[in-house]
Structure 1
Amino acid sequence: MKMSSNVKAMVRVIFLVAFIGWLMIWVMLPTKLYKNKWTPNLETKLSSTYFGGQGANLLLFSFPVMFIAAFGCAYLHFQNRSTHFNHSKSATALLKRPVLVTAPVGIVSALELTFAAMFVALLIWSLANYLYVSFGHLHMHKQGEKIWEAKFRSVSLRLGYIGNICWAFLFFPVTRGSTLLPLVGLTSESSIKYHIWLGHVSNILFAAHTIGFIIYWAITDQMVEILEWSKTWVSNVAGVIAIVIAVPMWVTSLPHFRRKKFELFFYTHHLYLLYIIFYVLHVGDAYFCMILPGIFLFLIDRYLRFLQSRQRTRLLSACVLPCGVVELNFSKTPGLYYNPTSILFVNVPRISKLQWHPFTVSSNCNMEDDQLSVVIKTQGTWSHKLYREITSSLDHLQVSTEGPYGPNSSHFLMHECLVLVSGGSGITPFISIIREIIFQNQKPNFRVPRVVMICAFKNSADLAILDLLVPISGNPSQITQIQLQIQAYITREKEQPKAETQKPVQTIWFKPGPFDSPIAATLGPNNWLWLGAIISSSFVMFLLLLGIVTRYYIYPIDHNTDQIYHFSYRALWDMFLVCVCVFIVSSAVFVWCKKQNTREGNQIQNTEIATPITSPGAPWFSGADDRELESLPHQCLVQATEICFGSRPDFKKILFDLKESDVGVLACGPRKMRHDVAKICASGLAPNLHFESISFTL
C-alpha cells in the first residue's frame, strides 16, 4: 500500500505541530505565566485521583512524543520505498554543508549549528526565567539566612532544572531502532555525537548543581542535609549517589578513554541503569514524567535488542584476506531488508560475553537474499582475538548479533557524481554502496551516479580489500557496467612489491550449531507496525496501571496531599510500571514474530545453500596475468584502479576538478582525514560539493 504525497505531507504537518507544541511547553515552563496561571489551572483540571500531580506532565510532556513515536511507525511503514531517493536536489543542501570543523565538537553542519544554537538559547532562556521568578519571590530556607545565600541556593537548584531539559533529549540519539530519528532523516550511529554533546552539558550542569548545594550547606552549617532522604520531597542522598555514579561514566567517556581504553569506557557506561534509578528517585515522579518519552522508547529498544541478542546466529564462512581483514558471512532470512552503510553489532562469547562491537554490513540485501556479510579489520585487542579464533581450525564459532541498523533510504543515489573517500578500514561502508549502485544500475531508465573512490592504505597488502567490491552473488561482471574510478594511495611503500609476495585469499567454512538460526527481521525497519503496536500498547498499559495504583492504593493513603505517601515510593512505582509494561508487551510481540521467523528460518536450513564462488584475488601487480575467465570482473576492477606509492591524496585538487553540478562526498576513516575533506567542502569554493561523514566518533 502506497501513501500519496498529499497524505504524507499532511501527516508530516501533524507530527510537526505536535513536536512544536511539545517544544513550546518547554519554552513556557520556566515563565511566570506558566507558574502562576497555567499551573493552577492544569492542576485543577488534570490532577485527578487517578494520576495525582503527574497528570499534567503526562499530558503535556509525555503524550506528544509518544504520539509521534507510535504513529510515526505507521507512517514509515506505508510510505513508498521507491520514494526514498530521487535525483532532485535537496532544498536543505546548503543547510547540511559543514560550517564548523574542529576536534572538540567534530564536523558540524549549518543545520546542526542552528539547532544547537536554538537549544543553547532554550537553556539560557530557561535559566534566566527561573531565576527571575525565583528572585522575585525569594524563599529563605533557614532562619537568619542572608539574601545572597538564598540566591546562591536558588541558582544551584535551577541549574539542576536546566540539566533536566538535557535529559529530555539525551536518550533519543542512542535508541537504535528509533522511530523518531528516521522521520528527520537521521540514524542512531550518525546521532551519537548529539548524545555526547548532551551528556557533557548535562553532567556539567549537574556537577555545578551538586557542588553549589554542597557549598551552600557548608556556609550555612547544614552539611547534615547531604544525608537526608526526605519522605515528602526530593532525596538529597539519591542525588549524591546519582552524581557519584555519573562522574566515572563522564570521565571514561572522554575521547582519550574511548580511543585508548575502550573496555573501561564500555563497562563503566553500563552504570547508566543505576544512574537513571537514583536520578529518578532524586527528582520524583512529576519530573520523571517530563523526561519519560526518551527513557520509555530507549527501554523498549534496549529490551528488544536484549531479546534478539539471546539468539545464536548461524555463521556460514569467513573470508580471510592477506591484509588481516576478515569478512564474516552469516545466514539470513530473505525477508530481512536493510540499506547500504547499515551496522551489525557482533558478540563472540568465546572472546567476551559482554562486549558488542559494531561493524559495517558489506553485503546487499537485493543481491544476496540469504546471506549477510560484515567486514572486520584486525586492529584492536578484540578483533585480533577473533582473527586467531577464526584461523585456529575451528569448525564452529558461536556468535550473536544485533541489528542491522542503518539509514531509512539510499539517499546517496540522488547525486550526479559520488566521491567515496576512505582511509584504511574506512572503505568498508562503501562496499555496500558500490553493490547497491550495481543493483540499481540493472533497472531500466534508472540513472546511477558516477563513482570516484579515493582510498588511502598503509601497505600494498591492503589493496586486497578492493576484491570485496565484486559481489559474490548474482552476475559479478555487472561491476563492469557502472562508471567506477578508483584511486588507491599506498602511504608507507615507495615502490611496487613483487607479485609473488602476494598471499592468497583464504576461505574458512563453519558447521552450523544445533541452536543457530539465520539473522531475521527484528522489530524496527522491517516491522514498523509491530514496533508501533509495542510503543502504543505499552504506554497505554502504563497509563492504565498507573491510574489503578494511584486511585486504589496511593490516593486512599494520602488523598493527594503529598504528606503521607513516600515521595520516593511514587517514583519507584512509575519506574516499576514502565518496566513491567515494556517487558510484557515487548516479550509477547517478540515471541510472536520469532515464531514467524522460525518457520522461515527452518525453510532456509532445510534448503541447501549454494557455496559461493571464492574470490580468486585481483592481479594487482604484474606477473599475475594468467587468469581464468571468471576473474574478468577482477581484471576490470584492476583496470579501473590507479595505484600511487609513497604519496597521499591531494583532496583539494581531486574535489575541485570535478565538473558535475551535484557531487556527493562521503568520507570514512581517520578523524584528521574526514576533517580535511570536510574543510574543503565547507570552504564554499566549490558549491557543487555536498559532504557527509560516516563515523561513530566526532
Structure 2
Amino acid sequence: MESTIASTKIVRGAIWVLLMLVAMGTLMMWIMMPTNTYRNHWLLSIRKKANNSTYIGTQGAKLLIYTFPVLFIATLSSVYLHLGKKLNDFQKMGSDGKKDMLARWKQPVLVKGPLGIVSLFELSFFVMFIALLVWSFSTYLHNSLSTITAASIAENGLKIKVWEYKLETAGFWLGIVGNIALAFLFFPVTRGSSVLPLFGLTSEASIKYHIWLGHIVMTLFTAHGVIFIIVWIITHQFSEMIQWDFTGVSNVAGELSLLAGLGLWLTTFPAVRRKMFEVFFYTHYLYLLFMFFFILHVGISYSFIMLPGFFLFLIDRYLRFLQSRHRVCLLSARVLPCDTLELNFSKSPGLKYNPTSIMFMNVPSISKLQWHPFTISSNSNLEPDRLSVIIKSEGSWTQKLYQILSSPSSVDRLEVSVEGPYGPVSSHFLRHDTLVMVSGGSGITPFFSIIREFIYLSTKLKSKTPQLILICAFKRSSELTMLNLLLPIAGTPSDLSNLRLQIEAYVTREKTPTTEDYSKHHKTVWLKPSPTDAPVSAILGPNSWLWLGAVIASSFVMFLILMGIITRYYIYPIDRNTNKNFSTSTKAVLHFLVMCICIAAAGSLAVLSNKSRNARDAKQIQNLSSTPAGSPSLGLDGGAAGMELESLPHQSLVQGTNVHFGERPDLKKMLFDCKGSSVGVLVCGPKRLRHDVAAICSSGLADNLHFESISFSW
C-alpha cells in the first residue's frame, strides 16, 4: 500500500510539472501575441507549417497555439484529479498535520469595495490580468498608429482622415483585447471543470471571477462597437452597418452579438438582478446568441483563441443536460416552522462529494426552466445511500415548494430533477486546531455537512478532530429549529459525543424566549417515489474524472477528424486556403455545428457506458413507501437570555449550546479569544456579516485566524 501511494504521488508530481510547463508556455504566447516579434516572425513561421494543410486549413496556427494547449491541460488535469481522489487527500491532510503554505496569500486584503472580499492571491492575479489587457492594447495600438499616415491611407484607397482612421484602429484593437477576456469568461461557470480544481478553485466560489470578466468583456466590446458606429457616422459610411461580407468580418453579425450581450449585461447589475431575478435568469440564455453571432462576426480562425473555454463549457452543459433528463428519488422532507425544508433523496453508494458541496434542483410542477442551487447538508461517508439539501423559503420558487410540502394534504410524490453535486475536490478543515463557523440565517446550512464529516471521522475512523465553534445568528426563535438538521434523519445525539462542539446561537429580534413549543410544528413528510425514479448518481460514474478527460479528448479528436474531412473534400477544393472563395460565415457555422455534434456524441457515449452501473444502483431502492421512525426533534424551553437549550430526549445534542436573545455576537472578541496556532474561520450569510468577519481576520491583530467565505454572491 505504501509503495502504491508513493508511486501515485510521483506520477501526480510529474503530471503537475508538465501541466505547469504547458500553462506557462501558453501564458507566454498570450504575452507575446501583440508584439511585432510574434506577428512578424513566430506566427509566420508557424503558419508556414500549420496553415498549408489541406485538412486543417488556414486556421491551423491558431488551433495549435491557443486551442490545443488548453484542452490538453483540461484532459491531463482529469487524470491528475483522479489520482488525487485515489489518494484520499482529505484524510491524509488531517493525519499529517500539514499547514497551508499559501495561508497568508489567501487572507483578505480588500473587504469593502466594488470587487467584494478579495484575498491577496486573487488581487495579485486580477492586477496581472488587467496588466495583460493594458499591455496588449497599448502594444497593439503603438505598433499600429506608428504606421498610419496620410500617404498610407491614400495608398490603401481609403477616403478618411488620419485621426478618424486612428480612432477606428483603436476601436479595432479594443475588440481584439475583448477577445482575450472572453477566452477566460466561461471557465468559472463550468461546474464540472477539471481546470479549476487544478488551482484549488470551485465553480461556485469562482462566480465572482465570471462577474468581473463579464463586465470587462462587455465594456471592451461596447466601446469597440460604439467607436465603429461613430466612425461610420462621421465618414458617412452608413452602409457599413448592414454589411455582411462574403469573406472577412461581418458587421451585422457583430451588431447582433453586441445587442444580445447588452441585453444580457444590463440585467446583471445588482439593482436588477436582486429585484427581478427571473428576468436576470432568462436573459442569461442570450449568451447562446451572443456567442453564435460573435463566431460569425470574427470567423472561425480567430474564434479558436477564445474557443477552449467555451468548448469545455459546452461539454459540461451537455452532461448537465443529460443528468437533468432523469427524475430522482425524493424519499422524505423535514418541514420546520421557520419556513425551512430538508429534502432527503436516495443516493447511489458510489457517489462521493466533500463538505460544502451544492446541488442544483428543478421542480417541473413549479417551473420547468428554473434551476436553483442548494447546499448539501448530508455527508457521503456518514450517509452512503442518502443525500440531503436544506431549503429556506425566501423567494417565490422556494415559497411554492414549501407550501406544497407543508400543506395538510401534501403530495405523495414530487417530481425533481438535479444537476450535481458540485464542490471542492478535497477538504482542508483538519489542518486547523480550531474551526470557527459563523453564520447568519440560512447561512448555517453549509456547516451541517462539515459537522457531519467530523462526526464520521470521530466515530468511524476514530480520528482526532479540531475544536468546533458554531456561531449562528437568527432573527426569530422559530429559526432555532434549524438546529434539528444538525444530525441526519436517522442520527442520534450520541453521534456528537466524540466532538468538541460548542454552539452559540443568537436571536437578534426577540429580547425574551418565547413560550411556544416549536417542536410541535416540526414534521417529517414521507413520500412514495415512482419505480422509475432513480437515485442521485454521478453522471459519469465513480471514475468521473477519467470519463471527463475521455470526453474532452475524444470530442476534440472527433472534431479534428470530421473538420479535416470536410475541409479536404468540401472547403479546400473551392477555397485553396486563400480565404477568398469560400464564405467565412458558412465555414464558421460548419465548424460550430460539427463541434456541437462531436460533444454530443462523445458525451452520450460516456453516459451510456455508465448507464448500466447506475441502473444497478437504482434497483437497490427498496421499501421506499415504508415510514421509518420519526427523526429527532429539538424543542425550545423558556428562560432567561443566555440560557442553555433544554429539550429531552436530545439534551446531549445541545449540550454546551447557549441561546442569546436580543443581542448580536461580539465577533471580534470571540474570534480573538480562540486558541491554537491555526484557527480556521468560515463565514456564510449576509454580505455585511461576511465583510465584518473578513475585516476582523485581515486586521493583523491575530496571526492565527485564517478566513474563508462560503457564498454565491460577492
TM range (shorter): over 0.9
Shifted more, 332-341 versus 136-145: the winner is 136-145
State yes or no: 1:467 paired with 2:481.
no
**Aligned equivalent of 1:223:** 238
TM-score normalised by L of structure 2: 0.94
Amino acid at match of 1:110: L
SS of 1:488 mapped into structure 2: strand
Report the alpha carbon displacement of residue 395 of structure 1 after superposing the two structures with TM: 0.9
Once the two structures are superposed, residues 640-691 of structure 1 have per-residue CA deviations (whole angstroms, 9 ceiling, x without a partner) of 2111111111111111111211011111010110011011111111111111
Amino acid at match of 1:374: V
1:595: Cα distance to partner?
2.3
Q: Distance in 1 between matches of 2:173 and 2:286?
A: 26
Aligned to 1:69: 74
Shift of 1:103: 4.2
The counterpart of 1:11, out of the listed 3, 9, 15, is 15
User: 2:428 maps to what in 1?
Assistant: 411
SS of equivalent to 1:396: coil
Give the match for residue 643 of structure 1: 659
**Are residue 440 (structure 1) and residue 450 (structure 2) matched?**
no
CA separation of 1:271 and 1:501: change in aligned 2, threshold 3 A: closer
- For 1:94 and 1:524, the matched residues in 2 are separated by 37
**In the alignment, which of 576, 598, 618 is matched to residue 634 of structure 2?**
618
1:206 and 1:316 map into 2 onto residues whose CA distance is 49
Deviates more, 1:46-55 or 1:207-216: 46-55
1:526 shift after superposition: 4.8
Deviations, residues 569-622 of structure 1 (Å, cap 9, x unaligned): 1111111111010011111111221222012211x1246687554334223315
Structure 2: segments with no counterpart, 5+ residues: 640-646
Do 2:320 and 2:419's aligned partners in 1 also have CA atoms closer than 8 Å? yes
Distance 2:706 2:413 in 1: 45
Q: Are 2:603 and 1:586 equivalent residues in the alignment?
A: yes
Deviation of residue 275 (structure 1)?
0.9
More displaced 10-residue stretch of structure 1: 6-15 or 317-326: 6-15
Say what the alpha-carbon RMSD is for the aligned residues.
1.8
Report the AA paired with residue 552 of structure 2.
I
Does the C-alpha gap of structure 1 residues 525 and 345 become closer, same or farther in structure 2, counting only changes over 3 Å?
farther
- Asked if 1:161 is matched to 2:167, the reply is no
> 1:597 matched to which residue of 2?
614
1:29 to 30, 33, 37: 33
Selected match of 1:296 from 302, 311, 326: 311
CA distance in 2, matches of 1:455, 1:7: 43
Residue 632 of structure 1 deviates from its aligned partner by: 6.7
Letter paired with 2:54 = T
Aligned residues: 691
Q: Deviations over 1:342-382 (max 9, x none)?
A: 10111000000000000000111111111111000011100
Contact 1:472 1:613 in 2 (8 A): no
Cα distance in 1, alignment partners of residues 271 and 684 from structure 2: 20
Aligned to 1:451: 468
Q: CA deviation at 1:174?
A: 0.3
Task: Map residues 305-320 of structure 1 onto 2, 5 A cutoff.
Answer: 305-320=320-335
Change (3 A) 1:81 1:340: farther
Displacement of 1:444 in angstroms is 5.2
Q: Which residue of 1 aligns with 2:44?
A: 40
Amino acid at match of 2:471: I
Specify the alignment match of 1:49 in structure 2. 54
User: Cα deviations across residues 10-42 of structure 1 (Å, max 9, x unaligned)?
Assistant: 211111011111111111111011111112211
Contact 1:331 / 1:371 at 8 angstroms: preserved in 2?
A: yes
Please state how far the C-alpha of 1:525 moved relative to its aligned partner: 7.2
List per-residue Cα deviations over 1:174-211 (Å, max 9, x = no partner): 00000001111111000010000000000000000000
- Aligned partner (choices 393, 397, 408) of residue 378 of structure 1: 393
1:670 and 2:670 are equivalent in the alignment:
no
CA distance in 2, matches of 1:501, 1:545: 64
Query: Structure 2 residue aligned with 1:255, among 249, 270, 275?
Result: 270
1:626 is aligned to: none
Instruction: Give the aligned partner of residue 643 of structure 2.
Output: none
Partner of residue 627, structure 1: none
Identity of matched residues, %? 54
Determine which of 538, 542, 548 is the counterpart of 1:521.
538
Structure 1 residues 622 and 345: alpha-carbon distance in aligned structure 2, compared to 1, 3 A threshold: same
Q: Work out whether 1:78 is the aligned partner of 2:78.
A: no
Q: How much has 1:6 moved relative to structure 2? A: 2.7
> Structure 1's 256 and 33: CA in aligned 2 closer, same or farther, altered over 3 A?
same
Give the aligned residue type for 2:71: M
Q: Is the 8 A contact 1:253 1:265 kept in 2?
A: yes
Q: Secondary structure at the match of 1:304?
A: helix
1:104 to 114, 127, 136: 114
Does the CA-based 8 Å contact 2:351-2:541 persist in structure 1? no
For residues 677 and 146 of structure 2, the distance between their equivalents in structure 1, rounded to whole angstroms, comes to: 58
Partner of 2:285: 270
1:163 and 1:206 in contact (8 A); partners too: yes
Contact persistence 1:95–1:111 (CA under 8 A): yes
Whether the 8 Å CA contact 1:337–1:526 is kept in 2: the answer is no
**Structure 1: segments with no counterpart, 5+ residues:** 624-630
